[in-house]
Amino acid sequence: MANFKPLTQKHFTMLKWLVICIVISIIAGIFGFAGIADAAAGIAKIIFVIFIIISIIVFLAFKKIF
């Protein structure tokens, strides 16, 4: 069995930025700053897609190990 280290804050950096962008987008949308809301939502979408791709790659890599 492989020695796995527990997850740390470092592992959740991308998800943290995703949540920050979504919150900025929602707050900017509420206050009527459409340009900022659109930009933050676009960044959040890009980060989410990157996260999904990396998650799939890591899942397939660990699947081959076991």
pTM over 0.75: no
Show Cβ contacts of residue 59 under 8 Å, excluding neighbours closer than 6 positions: none
Angstrom distance (rounded) from CA 20 to CA 15:
9
Angstrom distance (rounded) from CA 39 to CA 44:
9
Cβ atoms 66, 40 nearer than 8 A? no
Which of the pair, 66 or 11, is modelled with greater confidence?
A: 11
Cβ atoms 45, 29 nearer than 8 A? no
**Model confidence pLDDT, tens digit, residues 2-29:** 555 665 666 677 778 878 888 888 888 8
